[in-house]
Amino acid sequence: MRDFLPEEASARARVRRTIEEVFQRYGFDPLETPACERIETLLGKYGEEGDQLLFKILKRGEGSERGEVDMGLRYDLTVPLARVVAMHPAQIQLPFRRYQIQPVWRADRPQRGRFREFVQCDVDIVGVESIAADAELIAVADAAFRALGLTDYRMRINHRAVLRGMIEAAGVAHEREGDVLVAVDKLDKIGPDGVHSELVARGFPTSVADRIGALLRARDAAPEDGLAVIEEFAGSTDAGRHGLAELRDLVSLVGDYGLDPGRWRVDPVLARGLSYYTGPVFEANLEGMPGSVAGGGRYDGLVGMFSGRDIPATGIALGFERLVVLLSERGAFEGQGAHADVLVAVLSATDRSASTRLSQTLRAHGLNVELYPEDRKVGAQLKYASRRGIPFAVLSGPDERSRGEVQLKDLRTGEQASIAEEDLVERLRSALTL
Amino acid sequence: MRDFLPEEASARARVRRTIEEVFQRYGFDPLETPACERIETLLGKYGEEGDQLLFKILKRGEGSERGEVDMGLRYDLTVPLARVVAMHPAQIQLPFRRYQIQPVWRADRPQRGRFREFVQCDVDIVGVESIAADAELIAVADAAFRALGLTDYRMRINHRAVLRGMIEAAGVAHEREGDVLVAVDKLDKIGPDGVHSELVARGFPTSVADRIGALLRARDAAPEDGLAVIEEFAGSTDAGRHGLAELRDLVSLVGDYGLDPGRWRVDPVLARGLSYYTGPVFEANLEGMPGSVAGGGRYDGLVGMFSGRDIPATGIALGFERLVVLLSERGAFEGQGAHADVLVAVLSATDRSASTRLSQTLRAHGLNVELYPEDRKVGAQLKYASRRGIPFAVLSGPDERSRGEVQLKDLRTGEQASIAEEDLVERLRSALTL
């Protein structure tokens, strides 16, 4: 788990704020849930591996001596959403459009780019069967990426029923579906030819491996071509026809949002790991970044596990931590240092009173001002401000004050000039383009 | 621990943002630390009671069966700050001005207004011995209260050395100081006469009880009068003189910030519970609200416990949860419902495409738009929007579109009118005063 020192914390806050504004632009409202959930709420929701990765909290009092556990740290934001919808039926009207940006905790072995505490960034629509809700989620994710300046992402869309239909149509027995998916899941690592060999090695006939291979090669086609491939490979099955019809609707609905068609694909082999998906699934990737930066899909069964009645739901999660890393690598945060616009230096103890009043004036005009809090040499104060990335410093001693002036120093260029104190706010505001 | 549904989550986000902006205006930068700290970092820092109130996290793997614990949930934000300063000496230059707004967890018995997960809101200056740092904190708290519209708060200031000096000067033996403080701490409950009786009952001479009683009555005096009382009651001791000199500086420094003098007091009996305070202490209260809404002070010893070298520090924390409750009681969040400005209704399935495009146009103009995601009767859609607190709805069917118009309905008044689609953005923006 990581400390975020000011520069990083500021960058994260900016990314978060950008994403939040987009979510609000699309009519989503915030939800916050506690870090701790009852252990029964969490156990059994994430598979056996997930149970192992829960951080468990010891009971207080007597139970603690027996090592008893009553709560666990939140593992994702989807289970808490399902619990909330079930617990507060009177306050939550459906459709419920919520976003939630909070940390989750997983006791994974720490490794590069994986953390035990990380922020998830979920946006979901609960209570809507229509595929229009899924289209809205693809559109909001697109808008978030664009707001972050990331236009080189690619969103891939599929439908769970399509996948079932294709495997059935390829002549794979129902009980061997899993084997096919395991091989297909290695695509990014071993390529389409590797998947073909793997399928043959696992005892599938060459005809099956050929069909799957053809599908894998179709994943980078335009949406219309992707639909044609699905028709060809899955149209003969009930599941395939159902999935295809929903995907066609989805493609048409997404088109109405005006997304750049180059940015999204129908990918006939996109599966998404989580077993609770029931309909459309989505995943976004960025050039040169392994893994996904967003993913989601429809999970019509999960909310019902808590509320005891069927409530459809669909959602997408942005990979907040990955996005921060990527934006940082691309220099998106460069030159964004301290929040302070200006350091007001204090030339000597007797100047503090005047410098304090000057700071207050600048603050009242909306400038972010750091007043140096100690009596130290001016050189040390300016060095401190430079290292902090504060762009300007203001110096004012008795001489300046007697003339109604201040010294304004641009810490980026080193330039320093006397200016009338009454012009200071305007000069700073225009230099900072506030 | 609580769920915050959208309305409450939005209100909390607004309060948080207001406070954050003020902290940034005063040159403070954000810090974030993980929810979990090593258990050794936490134990022994908050007294015996604090140790009992820690939420402890079970080790993963083998240790879990033996009930072993390696981490605990963050109990406050001050200990993590001290740890961070010690751990990252190369990245953190002093003076370090940081704010931190994050939840903390305490296994208190839940009771009205007390929660097991609650947000703390700390602002600290690390590495500065000068009392100017303490003055800056009083000023930033004042600015935060004003930004929240709370001008009826009162800040009280004292100095730990003053308290020691007064007790010594009253003729109380050093080992009985604690007894005096216990009696004085009941002031809010039993009043000055009650404290007097309590002191006598505890075996102190009437002369001592009289002196303490006089002090208690002086706590609502103006700062200058408070200083005079301290001079009278503690000026004869070394500790008293030291505290008085620092308090005089502090009063003068705070004066330079231009705070309304009616809003702050020198309170000779303000103690603040935490034993780690070493110099000035502060506490803010609001009319009609029991307990404090902000509190803090100088703690020159704590950072050294982690870093092994003396590093002075001072800080103040705003009572985020209390402020939210108070602002809510005062109606500060009324009329602030959903973030969405307008619902775009969908009259029938064949209208969805046009309604989607209209939504995207409005969003591109900075409006927060909810597009109704399901095919339901228009009446149900409008009722939903009203209940959500969305102020406007836009309806557009084939007739409207053929005339280049839309129906704009004000959901607060019920008024509905046909307007040209090209005027819609302007109409909404001016009605919403965006």
Residue A50: HSE in the Cβ half-sphere, 13 Å Cα cutoff: 18
Question: What pLDDT does residue B274 have?
Answer: 62
Contacts of A98 in chain B (CB under 8 A): 6
Burial B93-124 (b: 16+ CB within 10 A, else e): ebbbbbbbbbbbbbbeeeeeeebbbbbbbbbb
pLDDT above 70 (res A112): no
Residues B24, A339: C-beta atoms closer than 8 Å:
yes
Question: What pLDDT does residue A163 have?
Answer: 86
pLDDT tens sequence across B38-68: 999 999 888 888 888 999 999 987 777 788 8
pLDDT above 70 (res A279): yes
pLDDT above 80 (res A238): yes
With 0.95 as the threshold, say if the pTM is over it.
Answer: no
Q: Write down the ipTM of this complex.
A: 0.90
A356 interfaces chain B, CB cutoff of 8 Å: yes
pLDDT above 70 (res A113): no
* Mean pLDDT within A159-176: 87
Q: How far A128 CA lies from chain B's nearest CA (Å)?
A: 6
**What is the rounded CA–CA span in Å between residue B102 and residue B57?**
19
Residue B250: HSE in the Cβ half-sphere, 13 Å Cα cutoff: 32
Question: What pLDDT does residue B36 have?
Answer: 97
**What is the rounded CA–CA span in Å between residue A397 and residue A354?**
9
Question: What pLDDT does residue A183 have?
Answer: 83
Amino acid residing at A76: D
Identify the weakest region by mean pLDDT among A241-245, B118-122, B208-212: B208-212
**What is the rounded CA–CA span in Å between residue A381 and residue A384?**
5
Question: What pLDDT does residue A161 have?
Answer: 92
pLDDT above 70 (res A387): yes
Question: What pLDDT does residue A411 have?
Answer: 94
Question: What pLDDT does residue B217 have?
Answer: 77
Residues B9, A24: C-beta atoms closer than 8 Å:
no
pLDDT tens sequence across B292-303: 899 999 999 888
Query: Are the beta carbons of B391 and A27 closer than 8 angstroms?
Result: no
Question: What pLDDT does residue A380 have?
Answer: 95
pLDDT tens sequence across B339-384: 899 999 999 999 999 999 999 999 999 999 999 999 899 999 999 9
Question: What pLDDT does residue A274 have?
Answer: 62
Identify the weakest region by mean pLDDT among A208-212, A287-291, A418-422: A287-291
Q: Which is nearest to B195 in space by CA: B174, B181, B205, B207?
A: B181
Question: What pLDDT does residue B189 have?
Answer: 81
pLDDT tens sequence across B248-291: 999 999 999 999 888 888 988 888 866 678 999 999 998 777 78
Identify the weakest region by mean pLDDT among B83-87, B306-310, B382-386: B306-310
pLDDT, mean over chain B: 91
Query: Using 50, 70 and 90 to split pLDDT, how confident is the model at A337?
Result: low
Cβ under 8 Å to A: B residues 254-273: 256-258
* Mean pLDDT within A177-188: 80
> What's the distance, CA A409 to chain centroid?
39
Q: Which of A139-143, A372-376, B171-175 has the highest mean pLDDT?
A: A139-143
pLDDT tens sequence across A31-87: 999 999 999 999 988 878 888 899 999 998 777 778 889 999 999 999 999 999 999
A297 CB contacts (<8 Å, ≥6 apart)?
A134, A160, A272, A274, A277, A278, A279, A280, A281, A282, A314, A315, A316
Q: What is the DSSP string of B244-311?
A: HHHHHHHHHHHHHTT--GGGEEE-TT---S-TT--SEEEEEEETT-SS-SEEEEE-TTHHHHHHSS--
Question: What pLDDT does residue A91 have?
Answer: 92
* Mean pLDDT within B77-105: 95
In this complex, which of A25, A65, A69 lies closest to B58 when CB atoms are compared? A69
* Mean pLDDT within A327-350: 88
A98 interfaces chain B, CB cutoff of 8 Å: yes
pLDDT, mean over chain A: 91
The proportion of chain B whose per-residue pLDDT surpasses 70, expressed as a percent, equals 98
Mutate: best of A15, A17, A29, A384, partner B, most B CBs <10 A:
A29
